[in-house]
Structure 1
Amino acid sequence: MNALSGTGTLVRLALRRDRVLLPVWIAVFVLVAVTSAAATKGLFPTVDSVVQAASVMNGTPALVAVYGRIYDPTSLGALAMLKALGTGAVIVGILSIVLVVRHTRAEEDAGRLELVGSGVVGRWAPLTAALAVVVGADIVLGLLTAVAVAASGLPVAGSMVFGLAWTSVGIAFACIAAVAVQLVRTARAAIGLSMALLGVVFLLRAAGDTADVAGPRWLSWLSPLGWGQQFRPYAGNRWWVLVITLVFAAVLTAVAYLLVSRRDHGAGVFPERLGPATAAPSLRGPLSLAWRLHRGALLGWTIGFVTYGLMVGSVAGSIGSMMGSAESQEMLLKLGGRDVLTDAVFAAMFGLLAVIASAYGVQTSMRLHAEEVAGRADPVLATTVSRARWAMSHAWIALAGTALLLVSAGFAAGVMHAVQTGDAGQVGRVLSGALVQVPAAWVLTGVVVALFGVASRLAATGWAVLVTFLLFGDLGSLLELDQWLMDFSPFAHVPRMPGGTVTAAPLVWLVVVAAALTAAGLTALRRRDVG
């Protein structure tokens, strides 16, 4: 037996576990790329309209910070795939991080890796299998995306480079996660560390892209996200940037293997700080325990939402002065669907933030499954704490945290917009656009609680439900789905705010649905075995 023994078996096991997750996510990414290309092609039929729109995008620093720069203002492909290249690359990185942690540190936390390791499995096999699956998935994603986008009518060479850019970003963050899981002891800490690094490199890329010609544009070259932008699909097609990613990946992979050989199983390179021998008086019940478990993650999410809210407020405040053509106005109206350009930006951005906040609700409520599988729920339930009270402690954090994220982003965006316009009344007006999204986001938490109540393993299906809602609600019009299908998504019932008319009935019904799903989950939990 050597250090790589059993790698093939672990690869097959990982593929079996992800046989639904990976195809669904890859299909979603491909569909988003194709719809982005198709939607923009019909919007800008002439070269002049493309140049005008690209000038608006490049002339708005906040948009450049969020999505990146268009390096060829005459290229329809560069304009069409700008949002997919910027935002999509971030999501590809997140998916790669989650998958690597899922098949390494999470398995170690649950004790399954120790059981597997007692067989004919080498020291390096789990990490090698995880990287093989994730890198393979990134390559398949890049190839399918390239073929699909090229089939939609964009140039083949640029489409291949676009797919390669997504693959490159995914590989880079898979290797970052491979090092992170060796440094810390828990899966939560590994994901948190990797996500923090993703935030740092995003800021580096944004700072470099928005710098003047004489400024520190070199900062973009310090970021894997910046490398993805520097592939410049449809605007030069720089294939050679892949060499940078491969060197970076090789170095981090070597570091990861070195660390996994030197650390103890179940431990991290960074030692954990021991807690107090007795609990604080504030730690008296399941809700306070749940808050203790989730507060770090919620703080990180909140910082991210506030930062994004400030950027949204900056984007909206600069739109009016930057509009120079009817085509550019039509593009932004397409994104938000409102007659007022500023309101269109806020409506579109808050719709995106609602989906991300729903992801927080799914992740937080799924902690119930992790606590049960790891056996940490048993000591709590052995006391006078009921199953419903224990489950609701995590559900309350998920619900309150989801609302907090949207309110924080809305308030930050409103304050920034109020400062730019000199109108303090804009704070409440912009905040309303975030508040109306809260009931729809709550539905996802209710879905996860309901699934967990039926069977613990079903809680992970919440991710598939979120993707389905996204496809039906946000992409339904582009896919020309029937209205009754799009109505399945809770996001399809949210009024467009600010600037629209609020009707109480849809929001009330969304709250009722979320409450009914949660109640159904608690009822089912009382009737099944725990553990």
Structure 2
Amino acid sequence: MSTLIGTGEMVRLFLRLDRIHLPLWIGAIVGIVVASASAVQGVYSTPALRAGYAATVSNSPAAIVMSGPPQALDTVGGITLFEVNLTAAVGTSLMAIFLTVRHTRAEEEAGRTELLRAGVLGRHAPLAAALVVVGGASVVIGLLLGLSLWALGLPASGSLLFGAAMACLGVTFAAVSAVAAQITEHARAALGIAVAVLGLSWGLRSLGDIEGGAATWFSPVGWVQAVHPFGEERWWPLLLPLACAAVLTVTAVLLTGRRDVGAGLVATRPGSPRASALLSSVPGLALRQQRSSLFWWAVGLCLGGLALGSFGHEVTTMLEDNPELASMMGSEGGEDLVTGYFGLILLILVLVVACFTVSSVHRLRSEESQGRAEFVLATKTPRRSWQFGWLAVTGGGTVLLLLATAVGVAVADAVVSGSADRFGQLVGATLAYLPAVAVIGGLAAALHGWAPRLGGLVWVVLAGCFVVGWLGDLLKIPAAVRDLSPFNLTPRMPLEAMDWTVVAILTLVAIALLVLAVLGLRRRDIGSA
């Protein structure tokens, strides 16, 4: 029997399973990138504004780390790509990582691959189908990005080159994830390996771009950003990620033949024969299962805060001659430029924290679907205690991540500016968003309680909050629509004064949603709806 027999059927199965996930991923990535690119078009309309922007970011290590090599910044297209590079590259890479692991290692861990292999299905068919689906999705994203930038009035050659680069990046990290899925027998570990490779790639690219060394050429991210759309427009660097993807795909196929179904190449270390006292409670169990992800979320957000916070000292130079961009920051001039900048970056970082909150709440659904919740509830633990135990860890983790974010931004600002006067302000401004994050977490919990299959809608809401917060003014979104976002209602400190009434209302809304979550879980069977 051919090892690829049944690949077509598996492709159709994965497309069926991803009928919601794929459109959400593609729509969110393309929508946010295009909305950001559209907003930039009128901001740098004169050569003087573009020259001021280029002079500022070209000498800023923080800007280069976040956005890539400063190329063609004397053109609107070059500035546009410098602004959207982070969103496009990270979004496409994460989509490839999560979907590839979902259709390979996660399916094996759940035991479904073994059931399918009991029929007429080749050994390599699931892996091949996953790569076809995720690779196709990456190509669709690249094509839509290229056509969208072209439709915005940017040159066709540079737009399509950028889209091709993002497609190649997605294909490469699909192959990286396929190899990671062969190494370990747990989906979370495979995700960790693939995301670590993405982080290492971004770090090597950043090091090479800042120092002008060869480190960039050891990074898939560096390869795709070396095409320089709207500048030199080099197509040949795309051969590197394609060759890397081909080699990694062959490697994944060979590794698949060297292990049993459900097992990984690296054997799992046996745990202690006796459970610790921490595992005797639901919160302890939840914390044990999330401690690694919580640690890496905290590290990532703290580093992100350090990078963005260090850029605050340069924001006056960038914005003082550009009133449109200053208005986007919610400021008019002077010291308001700096406080407006910090208000904006804190909002963006807090939205990232909300991503952890939502994913942590969704672990409740995973506990049900994988059967672990039934084992816990078969003891004397009531449903409410099980639910509150997980949500308590989610809440504590959210507070920890907000603090890690605040400390990163505040420390960077203190080091760069030489003054710690804003330290307390920045920490307070970050924690002020806690009720807004709690509303999003409460919505995720309420959907889990009543209709867990609709839990993905929370990501749509969160994406809408991001667009409103980042581009609401430039896109002229009506105030009534913007105020639907709890993050928009929260005062953007330190530029705006604290409004305790809004905080109290958002807190009450979050509590009401948690009550709905409890009532919903009581009315349905575990693992149903």
CA–CA separation in structure 2 for the residues paired with 1:137 and 1:433: 38
Alignment of 1:492-511 (within 5 A): 492-511=488-507
* 1:406 Cα offset (Å): 1.6
User: How far has the Cα of 1:333 moved from its partner?
Assistant: 4.9
| Distance across 2 between alignment mates of 1:473 and 1:418 | 26
Comparing 156-165 with 31-40, which one deviates more in the overlay? 31-40
In the alignment, what sits opposite 1:42? 42
**2:485 counterpart of 1:489:** yes
Encode CA deviations 1:281-331: one digit per residue, 9 max, x unaligned.
2322111111111111100101111111111221113434x449613x753
Amino acid aligned to 2:388: M
Q: Mean Cα displacement is larger for which, 408-417 or 374-383? A: 408-417
Q: What secondary structure does 2:290 align onto?
A: helix
**Alpha-carbon deviations, 1:79-110, whole Å to 9, x = none?**
01212113320121111101111111111122
Structure 1: which amino acid aligns with 2:524?
Answer: R
Matched residues in 2 for 1:121 and 1:332: separation?
Answer: 59
- Return the alpha-carbon distance in structure 2 between the equivalents of residues 302 and 338 of structure 1: 33
2:184 paired residue number: 184
Give the structure 2 partner of residue 150 of structure 1.
Answer: 150
Contact 1:207 1:219 in 2 (8 A): yes
Match of 2:446 in 1: 450
Residue deviations 1:12-32 (CA, integer Å, cap 9, x gap): 111112222222332232222
For 1:196, the equivalent position in structure 2 comes to 196
Residue of structure 1 aligned with 2:321, choices 321, 326, 340: 326
Q: Single out whichever of 128-137 and 25-34 deviates more from structure 2.
A: 25-34
Matches within 5 A, 1:396-407: 396-407=392-403
Q: How does 1:57-456 map to 2 (within 5 A)?
A: 57-211=57-211, 213=212, 217-320=213-316, 322-323=317-318, 326-327=321-322, 330-331=324-325, 333-335=327-329, 337=331, 339=333, 340-456=336-452
Q: Distance in 1 between matches of 2:143 and 2:513?
A: 39
Mapped to 1, the partners of 2:344 and 2:203 lie a distance apart of: 22
Change in 2 beyond 3 A, CA 1:486/1:73:
closer
Deviation by residue 1:452-505 (Cα, 9 ceiling, x = unmatched) = 111333333332332233345544444433332222222221211222211012
Spell out, residue by residue over 1:198-218, the C-alpha distance to the aligned partner (whole angstroms, 9 max, x if none): 11111111111111x4xxx21
CA distance in structure 1 between the partners assigned to 2:24 and 2:381 by the alignment: 38
C-alpha distance after superposition, 1:348-382 (max 9, x if no partner) = 21111111111111111111111111111111101
Counterpart-to-counterpart distance in 1, 2:500 and 2:332? 20
Q: Distance in 2 between matches of 1:85 and 1:335?
A: 20
**Superposed displacement of residue 414, structure 1:** 0.8
Query: Which deviates more, 265-274 or 308-317?
Result: 308-317
| Structure 2 counterpart of 1:445, one-letter code | G
What TM-score, normalized by structure 1, do the two folds share?
0.95
Residues 443 and 514, structure 1, Cα contact 8 Å, conserved in 2: yes
- Contact map agreement 1:473 1:487 (CA 8 A) in 2: no
Pairwise CA distance, 1:246:
0.6
State the secondary structure of the residue aligned to 1:366.
helix
- What letter matches 1:317 in structure 2? H
State how far apart, in whole Å, the 1-side matches of 2:258 and 2:287 are.
Answer: 34
**TM, length-normalised to structure 2:** 0.95
Post-superposition Cα deviations, 1:423-455, rounded to whole Å, max 9, x if no partner, equal 233211121221122222222221221111113
CA-atom RMSD, angstroms?
1.8
Letter in 1 for 2:435: P
Structure 2: which amino acid aligns with 1:491?
A: F
Tell me the distance in 1 between the aligned counterparts of 2:277 and 2:340.
48
The amino acid that maps onto 1:355 is L
The SS at the match of 2:397 is helix
1-structure distance, mates of 2:470, 2:508 = 22
Report the Cα distance in structure 2 between the residues aligned to 1:515 and 1:474, rounded to whole angstroms.
Answer: 27
Query: What is the alpha-carbon distance in structure 1 between the residues aligned to residue 467 and residue 422 of structure 2?
Result: 32
Give the Å deviation of 1:177. 0.7
Alignment check: 8 A CA contact 2:29 2:91 kept: no
Query: Does the 8 Å contact 1:336/1:343 carry over to 2?
Result: no
Paired residues of 2:33 and 2:87 also in contact (CA < 8 A): no
Structure 2 vs 1, CA of residues 330 and 472 (structure 1 numbering), >3 Å: closer, same or farther? closer
SS at match of 1:326: coil
Alignment partner for residue 510 of structure 2, among 507, 514, 530?
514
Distance 2:59 2:325 in 1: 15
Give unmatched runs, 5+ long, in structure 2: none
Which segments of structure 1 move beyond 6 Å, counting only runs of 4 or more?
none
Report the Cα distance in structure 2 between the residues aligned to 1:349 and 1:472, rounded to whole angstroms.
14
Taking the aligned partners of 1:85 and 1:419, their CA distance within structure 2 comes to 27
5+ long unaligned stretches in structure 1: none
Alignment-derived partner of residue 55 in structure 1: 55
1:13 partner SS: helix
8 Å CA contact 2:29–2:87 kept in 1: the answer is: no
The answer to whether the Cα contact below 8 Å between 2:56 and 2:314 also exists between their aligned partners in 1 is no
Structure 1 residues 325, 316: closer, same or farther in 2, change over 3 A?
A: closer
The one-letter amino acid paired with 2:3 is A
Aligned length: 525
Show CA shifts across 1:186-206 (max 9, x none): 111111111122111111111
Do residues 4 (structure 1) and 24 (structure 2) align? no
Task: Give the partner amino acid of 1:378.
Answer: E
Distance 2:496 2:21 in 1: 37
